Amino acid sequence: MVQLNDRVIEGVISVPLKVIEDDRGAVLHMLRADSQHFNGFGEVYFSQVNPGAVKGWKRHRLMTQRFAVPMGRIKIVIHDDREGSPTRGRTEEHILGRPDAYRLLIIPPMLWYGFQGLGKAPSVMTNCSDIPHDPGESDQMSLETETIPYAW
Amino acid sequence: MVQLNDRVIEGVISVPLKVIEDDRGAVLHMLRADSQHFNGFGEVYFSQVNPGAVKGWKRHRLMTQRFAVPMGRIKIVIHDDREGSPTRGRTEEHILGRPDAYRLLIIPPMLWYGFQGLGKAPSVMTNCSDIPHDPGESDQMSLETETIPYAW
The pLDDT assigned to B4 comes to 42
The pLDDT assigned to B57 comes to 98
The pLDDT confidence band at residue B5, using thresholds 50, 70 and 90, is: very low
pLDDT tens-digit profile of A133-143? 999 999 999 99
Of residues B30, B37, B35, the one with CA closest to residue B11: B37
pLDDT tens-digit profile of B18-71? 999 999 999 999 999 999 999 999 999 999 999 999 999 999 999 999 999 999
Q: How far apart are CA A26 and CA B146, in angstroms?
A: 27
Predicted confidence (pLDDT) at residue A46 exceeds the cutoff of 60: yes
The pLDDT assigned to B8 comes to 83
Instruction: Say if CB B53 and CB A22 are below 8 A apart.
Output: no
Nearest CA of chain B to the CA of A58: how many Å?
15
Q: How far apart are CA A50 and CA A95, in angstroms?
A: 15
Q: How far apart are CA B23 and CA A125, in angstroms?
A: 15
For the whole model, what pTM was predicted? 0.94
| CATH value at residue B116 | 2.60.120.10
Residue B47 has its nearest CB partner, among A27, A43, A47, at A27
Residue at A64 is within a domain = yes
Instruction: Say if CB B70 and CB B29 are below 8 A apart.
Output: no
Residue at B147 is within a domain = no
- A24 to B50: CB separation less than 8 angstroms, yes or no: yes
Residue at B57 is within a domain = yes
The Cβ-side half-sphere exposure at B79, using a 13 Å CA radius, reads 19
pLDDT tens-digit profile of B75-125? 999 999 999 999 999 999 999 999 999 999 999 999 999 999 999 999 999
The whole-chain average pLDDT of chain A stands at: 95
Say whether the peptide bond before residue B149 is cis (omega within 30 degrees of 0): no
Q: How many domains does chain B have?
A: 1
Q: Which stretches within chain B are classed as H helix?
A: none
For residue A67, report the phi and psi dihedrals to the nearest 5 degrees: -105, 145
Instruction: Say if CB B54 and CB B76 are below 8 A apart.
Output: no
Nearest CA of chain B to the CA of A130: how many Å?
9
Residue at B145 is within a domain = no
The residues pairing with B51 across neighbouring beta strands, listed in sequence order, are B117
The pLDDT assigned to B123 comes to 98
Domain membership of residue A23 as a residue range: 5-31+39-140
Instruction: Say if CB B12 and CB B79 are below 8 A apart.
Output: no
Residue B44 has its nearest CB partner, among A27, A44, A55, at A44
Predicted confidence (pLDDT) at residue A4 exceeds the cutoff of 60: no
Residue at A60 is within a domain = yes
pLDDT, mean of residues B122-142: 97
Residue at B148 is within a domain = no
Give B-chain residues touching A48 at CB under 8 angstroms.
25-28, 70-71
Residue at A120 is within a domain = yes
Give A-chain residues touching B53 at CB under 8 angstroms.
23-25
Give the 3-state secondary structure of chain A: CCCCHHHCCCCCEEEECCEECCCCCCEEEEEECCCCCCCCCCEEEEEEECECCEEEEEEECCCCEEEEEEECEEEEEEECCCCCCCCCCCEEEEEEECCCECEEEEECCCCEEEEEEECCCCEEEEEEECCCCCHHHEEECCCCCCCCCCCC
The pLDDT confidence band at residue A71, using thresholds 50, 70 and 90, is: very high
A8 compared with A40, residue with greater pLDDT = A40
Of residues A60, A38, A67, A46, the one with CA closest to residue A108: A60
Residue at B75 is within a domain = yes
pLDDT tens-digit profile of A116-135? 999 999 999 999 999 999 99
Nearest CA of chain A to the CA of B87: how many Å?
30
